[in-house]
Amino acid sequence: MDENDLLTLRDRIGDAHLGARLRAQVDRTLRLRGRGRGGLHFENLTFAMDSVGLILRLTGLYRLGQRNATALAVRQRSVAFPGLPPAFAGLRILHISDLHLDGYPGFGGRIAAALAGQRFDLAVLTGDFRFYDTGSYAQLGRELDALLSALACCFGVYGILGNHDFIEMAPLIEKAGVRLLLNEAAPLRVGDDTLWLVGLDDAHFYGLHDFEKALAGVPPGAPRILLVHSPEVIPEAAAHGFGLYLAGHTHGGQICLPGGFAPYVNVRCARSQMVGAWRHGQMEGYTSAGTGSSGVFARFFCPPEIVIHELQAAH
Ligand SMILES: [Fe+2]
């Protein structure tokens, strides 16, 4: 990231947001407790993740877990959206979350291959582009380039940052072709109809989500979709009139017991909101089980997920 990128980012998101993000990223005292919603962040303890990887290798389960983590499939579902403008009935939203792209060489290309022949109008990436929290972004850039050509669609590709993502990655991600929403909103227009896409910064670890800032340019009552990394601001989103809440972060547990029960939970929400479809009042929600994997690139009883949500008017 060069000086011009940093200045552009400061002008765009403001001094306070950029300063708080950069301070939190380098404040090692936050590693375990964060400044957001998540309580204690055991997932940030490298030795804990290394221990899980070591146990899997010693028990001969690592290869199976890796095969599970790379067995990508696309799921389709319909979702009722209250107040959906008629022009957007049938809008198909490709939802990919928790890419952790630099955790497995060639993973961007694998996702691209899994998307062959799929039809969608809008692509959204709900945070956690990165696997490692330190080191070079070069591998991430290569994987993003391999993925992005497969995401071409009429409304384009939008994304938000997750708890694994540093703010200085934003120019790299945007140059690859993803428009990031950093407490920002973007209108999708068809004729006279508009549907707003609103994206928040991470609420889980950084606690830098800002509904008021993101919604500043959205007309009152206008239909809106929220992108936020974790399912941890659900009541606030419903109070702000969102019709659809798309999130990830939990990985559905990633390493689960038979039947899909997650013994370790890294989120503060109801179990029913931790993975898959849920509803809160009039607002529909979906928490992706994640497309990539973090900590250790392996999954058990919790397959990776790519979802296409097709919007339908709610009756
Ligand atoms: Fe993640």
Q: What is the pLDDT of residues 200-236, one digit of tens each?
A: 999 999 999 999 999 999 999 999 999 999 999 999 9
Look at residues 266, 256, 252, 259 and name the one whose alpha carbon lies nearest to residue 300. 256
Q: How confident is the model at residue 47 (pLDDT cuts 50, 70, 90)?
A: confident
Binned at pLDDT 50, 70 and 90, residue 136 comes out as: confident
Q: What is the DSSP letter of 244?
A: E
What is the percent of the chain where pLDDT is above 70?
97
At residue 161, the pLDDT reads: 98
Domain count, the chain: 1
Burial class for 13, CB neighbours closer than 10 Å (0-12, 13-18, 19+) = buried
pLDDT in tens, 49-87: 788 888 888 898 999 999 999 999 999 999 999 899 999
Sign of CA dihedral 238, 202, 178, 112: negative
- Return the percentage of the chain with pLDDT > 90, whole number: 82
Kindly report the average pLDDT of the chain as a whole number: 93
pLDDT band at residue 40 under the 50/70/90 scheme: low
Asked if 290 contacts 97 with a C-beta cutoff of 8 angstroms, the reply is yes
Residue 66: domain span? 3-313
CA of 240 to the centre of ligand 1 (A): 25
Q: Give residue 254 CA to ligand 1 midpoint distance, Å.
A: 10
User: How far is ligand 1, taken at its centre, from the CA of residue 109, in Å?
Assistant: 19
What Cα–Cα distance (Å) separates residue 120 from each residue in 48, 101, 150, 191, 291?
39, 22, 11, 19, 17
* Cα–ligand 1 centroid distance for 159 (angstroms): 14
The rounded Å distance from CA 16 to ligand 1 centre is 25
Which CATH number goes with the domain that contains 55?
3.60.21.10
Q: Are 306 and 116 in contact (CB under 8 A)?
A: no
Distance 229 CA to ligand 1 centre (A): 9
Measure 50 CA to ligand 1 centroid, in angstroms.
16
Which residues have CB less than 5 Å away from ligand 1 (the ion)?
A: 98, 128, 294
CA distance 204 to 265: 13
Separation of CA 250 and ligand 1 centre (Å): 7
Record the tokens describing residue 247, joined without a space. 């999130």
